[in-house]
Amino acid sequence: DYQCRSLVFRGWGTGEESFSYSTDSTRTPVIARPFRNVSAATPVNDSLVISAPGLNRTGSLAIAGSSEVYGGDIAIRQRWMSGLGGVVEVLYGYQHMRLNEDLSISSSTLELPNAIDVRDYFDAENEFHGGQIGLATRYREGCWSFNGLIKIAGGSMRRTAFREGSTTIGPPSTTTPEGLLVRGSNAGTVRDSTFGWVPELDATLGYRYTQNLDFTIGYHLVAMTDALQVSGMIDPQLAVNTDYPTGPASPSNGLRFDTFHVHGIHFGLQYVY
């Protein structure tokens, strides 16, 4: 009568996914980064020219970024109903999830006699802690089985945005703490907290190959609401005011939040004893 409750620990992660892009004057003669110049009375489209044969400029551009998401939970599962080869359990407990992203954009320009290095760096961190509640199901019919999970967690979402820029001109070398899209109007660290949700769905189909061994395939979805990503840290208009603090505060220091999703298909072996 008392064998109807279990304590389940889970941990998962996608690993760190990274990407990069680079080019230079030998492969791409004209390299430029566009932006919207709002330092003048009339806004105009402008660009940071990194390489251009007509201007006697040569240079290179490098872009690198990464994304990492992982989580885990502890839940008590209590049998709610059973029969006809199936079991439905109610689960409740603690949920954790973390999302980290970063992006670096660096350029180097040689315009004799000067070398100009410009760098923008963005880093976003999200950390969720909360309570969860949901349902877990198990059903078997002959050689086939189905496991399902649906739950939602609600709790504290802590977000951190870090933006840093730099421009180095020389010789002699002098460095200012402003890049192209990170300048005095938006550089630095911003932290805040809000209430967020982490819903999760999993559906797994299994086939019993032997008396104790099942092959499984399934679909998994987990989401994080009100998440901060690198894309939400960049001024959506690519606006730049080189005269700041005179005039508009651009690039904007504002942050944009959205729901982050992780979709996955999983394959596995399940040994039942």
Compute mean pLDDT per 10 residues along the chain, 273 residues long, and list them: 83 90 96 92 83 93 97 95 90 97 97 93 98 96 94 98 96 93 96 97 94 94 97 95 89 96 92 82
Report the pLDDT value the prediction gives residue 89, as an integer from 0 to 100: 95
Report the pLDDT value the prediction gives residue 71, as an integer from 0 to 100: 95
Report the pLDDT value the prediction gives residue 2, as an integer from 0 to 100: 59
3-state secondary structure the chain: CCCCEEEEEEEEEEEEEEEEEEEECCCCCCEEEEEEECCCCCCEEEEEEEEEHHHCEEEEEEEEEEEEEEEEEEEEEEEEEEECCEEEEEEEEEEEEEEEEEEEEEEEEEECCEEEEEEEEEEEEEEEEEEEEEEEEEEEECCEEEEEEEEEEEEEEEEEEEEEEEEEEECCCEEECCCCCCCCCCCEEEEEEEEEEEEEEEEEEEEECCCCEEEEEEEEEEEEEEEECHHHCCCCCCEECCCCCCCCCCCCCCCCEEEEEEEEEEEEEEECC
Report the pLDDT value the prediction gives residue 1, as an integer from 0 to 100: 54
